[in-house]
Amino acid sequence: MLDEYVWGTAERVSPEAPVLVLRAGPNTAVPGGAANVIACLRALGARAGLVAVSGDDAAGSALGARLAELGCDPLALVRDSGRPTTVKTRILAGNQQVVRVDREDRSPLPPLVAAELQAATEQALAGCDSLLLSDYDKGVLTPQSIPPLVAAAKARGAFVSVNAKPHYAAAYAGVDLLTVNRVEAAAISGLSPTDLPSAAAAATRIGEQVGCPLVLVTLGPDGAVLWQAGTGAQQVPPVSVPVFDPAGAGDTTFATLHLALTAGAPPREAAALAMLAAAVVVRKVGVATAAPAEILALAESG
């Protein structure tokens, strides 16, 4: 998806309705969704490619161009002329978000497009060490498409991570890492992770239900809980920083954790690194990434 920003200044209230009048300034756009995961990985120095679906439209072309600039390789954007590229437009007065407008089609992919996506993914996997599945509930990942993707990656010995949505959690059986936020964890486990013990219970249940050896449940300002088969659940403390914009923090956490694990970091250290990276991006306005120097500086300051 494409994250678009309309920056402006609110000077008065409209005489037509009780809303602000925004004097619009420049528009900017950055890769969003799974494309933001790629941006995060590239910012951390990883080689990363993307297989995804976009509309056959100007937003899809802009997204492809931006990903190419990032050095995304391979880059396979399967164009679906029957759906628009997902665009999230955020309108800001100064640094304050006023409203967000989403343009999207969340219906399941047509069979021919789904087959093209599957084939492109299997081809891309031939040169990859790992696979990340970023599920945004947009009709791309489904109970039908997920198991073949996981099986193809595991057949090549790839490490598989998923940032999962609750609807299809059971389809991710066999992945190496599953990450969810507090709300998603509640929907999957049937438990309410209101505190650390209940979050630990939810993570444990998810790991056992899905059959996944590593589960991370992010808890916003409360940090996260990491569950590991055979070890149990443990807290990953938060990194206390001023929060200007939480957009994209989940993508950053997911990308950093996955990369650290595939590079050989122990799970607890990888999760702590992911918390640091997320703390870097929430201090920025708009969907952003964390560079290694920024993460190191934050770690040394704390």
Residues carrying an active site annotation: 251
> The tokens of 122 are what?
């299997």
Distance between CA 189 and CA 206 in Å, rounded?
6
124, burial (CB in 10 Å: exposed 0-12, middle 13-18, buried 19+) = middle
Q: Give the contacts of 276 (CB within 8 A, at least 6 positions apart).
A: 239, 290, 295, 298, 299
Q: Return the structure tokens found at 65.
A: 């161009």
CB atoms < 10 A from the CB of 118, how many? 18
- Is the separation of the CB atoms in 171 and 180 below 8 Å? no
Spatial CB neighbours of 289, under 8 Å, sequence gap ≥ 6: 36, 39, 40, 42, 43, 248, 252, 281
- Rounded alpha-carbon distances, angstroms, from residue 160 to 78, 94, 106, 131, 253: 22, 40, 24, 5, 15
Residue type for 96, please? Answer: Q
Q: Which of 241, 250, 259 is nearest to 219 (CA)?
A: 250
CA atoms within 13 A on the CB side of 72: 24
